[in-house]
Amino acid sequence: MTEIESLKHKLIQQLGCIYKDVELTQSYDELADVLVDIMRITQGGFTPRPYSNHWSEKDVVVITYGDSIIAADQKPLATLSDFMDTHLECINAVHILPFFPFSSDDGFAVIDYSSVNDGLGDWSDITAIASKRRLMSDLVINHCSSRSAWFQNFIKGEGIGHDYFFTANVDDDLSQVVRPRTSALLRPTHTSKGWQHVWCTFSHDQVDFDFRNPQVLIEFTRIIRQYLDAGVNIFRLDAVAFLWKIAGTKSINLPQTHEVIRLLRTLIEHAQQDAVVITETNIPNTQNLTYFGNANEAHCIYNFSLPPLLINTLITGSCLYLKRWQMSMPPAQDGTTYFNFIASHDGVGLRPVEGILEQDEIDSLVETMVLFGGKISSRTSEDGHKKPYEMNIALIDALQGTTKGKDQFGLARFTCAHAIMLGLEGIPGIYIHSLLGTENDYEKLANTSHNRSINRHRWDAEQLNGLLADDNSTHAKVLAALTKLITIRTNQAAFNPNATQFTLHLGLQLFGFWRQSRDRRQSIFCISNISDQPIDLPLAELNLIGTETWFDLIDGEVIHDITATQLLEPYQTVWISNVP
């Protein structure tokens, strides 16, 4: 069997799993041929090696909108590129949030997947950025804008897109459907065929695709090929858990959804050797882990439990729940890894800590975030009640104090959070507003009335550069502290995303873990005081090997007595390594 024949055989099997309950006008063989042709996979091309890691300790991702920084007389994407070249040389990858024409949700209601929003720039700006850094792009695969040409054709009943959207009957059993919003699930829409009720997982401007129609899969395959050609290296499958819907079920995490992801990975990894698929599935932790498959589904999954757990740890001064969770997390096998983050363009989700944090712990966390100026977004739970879904707050504001209130340790606590995240197994992603120490944007919140706007500030480049040039500004201090940690991290083999990790037991005020490089030459003990009081770290409990010389990578000092007790100031982190 030739390589192409083997690939088509695999695709046929995957298509059979996806469409087994759907009547098709094309055979699986014909569909497989179409998909391979679109992706331009030819005989003699690249054959992926199973369990390959397309990442290393050098990989750190900055998460940003294309217009998070703007300047007069310059396209925002060009401004972003200049800013990264000037201030973020230590970061080798960028996730530019949806840069396409859109109608709502700050880009996630896409009008046209094939175009760059002309308010940001054009494809040449995208490819220019991709020539200097790994580029992550969103594949907004669950839904598109109601203003898209496809949906307008759905209304007219003709043309491309007229059969791309999922509809249901008002008398269908939809009682079990899991959703992240409180709006009505079905949108009544008057079409050439009469009134139809369009499924809308998120908002009524975000109309859900019907993947039972293989033309939708074909369309997204074309989109993927275009993005690869433009230099996109990492695909973030947005809200993909909701992709397949069946009335009478929860319509989340269905087997067909998992198989679609496996098929897309098959196509992508045969088309480009180092391309990566990341699933964005803001769901309970045990469900999220299933998207690894058997190293044949997502290369990376978002570590959604980390943000609320880490924030909770730092405002309570106890790492009990964080440590329990970390000990329960399976090491990612080769070919997969975690995508770690503690802040993003969205809020801090609470569903990922269901079953991890006690309800009173969640209630206290929510109350503290409100105390620090945050907003709380809700969803409709399975029993029909509104339930807190996410906390909307800038990370630097979220960490300005503890459950006791605000204090003087905000910057140290904020830096500690990133030191912990940067040391963990996985690839770190850092929101640009965390790098810049951006605070809650109440003006934007008032203008949009959308809670998520509180953490989506838009900086004037001249003003921002002025603040960063002032060593006494909080913004300059934050950027200096985080870029220092990133620079150290990216030079340590023991911080490889798949390097060994073990949790240390040092009490509830010291959160620690041990990393070991894959060649076993380097060990790093990552230990943080997560409390607002000085804590003694008994070095003897680490069992440091006496024949090695040990260093704290962060302060650059040699540890002369490995049996001594070291005092850790509130929120201080040490990275103790046998390799300087």
The two structure tokens encoding residue 297: 């589904």
- Average pLDDT per run of 10 along the chain, which is 580 residues long? 91 98 96 97 82 97 98 97 98 98 97 98 98 98 98 98 97 92 94 97 97 98 98 98 97 98 97 96 93 97 97 98 97 97 95 93 97 91 80 98 98 98 98 98 95 97 97 97 98 98 98 98 98 97 94 96 96 97
Over its C-alpha atoms, the chain yields an Rg (Å, rounded) of: 24
- State the distance between the two ends of the chain, measured CA to CA, in whole angstroms: 51
What amino acid occupies position 14? Q
CB-based contact 577:494 (threshold 8 Å): yes
User: Is 238 a catalytic site residue?
Assistant: yes
Smallest CA-to-CA distance from 566 within 529, 514, 532, 530 is with 529
Longest CA span, the chain: 80
Q: At what angle do helices 255-271 and 3-18 cross, to 10 degrees?
A: 160
CB 442 within 8 A of CB 551: no
> How many CB atoms within 10 Å of residue 544?
18
What is the C-alpha separation between 470 and 510, in angstroms, rounded? 33
CA dihedral 178, 183, 184, 189 (to 10 degrees): -120
**HSE on the CB side for 370, CA within 13 Å?**
10
Q: Residue ranges of the alpha helices (H) in 201-240?
A: 214-229
Which residue in 125, 205, 238, 532 is the catalytic one?
238
Q: How many whole angstroms separate alpha carbon 55 and alpha carbon 427?
A: 8
| Angstrom distance (rounded) from CA 43 to CA 150 | 34
pLDDT at 210: 98
Q: For 516, which DSSP code?
A: E
Residue 485, number of CB atoms within 10 A of its CB: 24
CA distance 28 to 39: 17
Q: What pLDDT score does 478 carry?
A: 98
Q: How many CB atoms lie within 10 A of CB 171?
A: 7
CA distance 54 to 275: 8
Strands 427-431 and 337-340: parallel
Strand order in the sheet with 558-559: 500-503, 510-516, 523-529, 573-577, 550-552, 558-559
Enumerate residues 6+ apart whose C-beta is below 8 A from 409.
401, 532, 570, 571
Position 381 scores a pLDDT of 72
In angstroms, the CA 465 to CA 567 distance is: 37
CA distance 457 to 454: 7
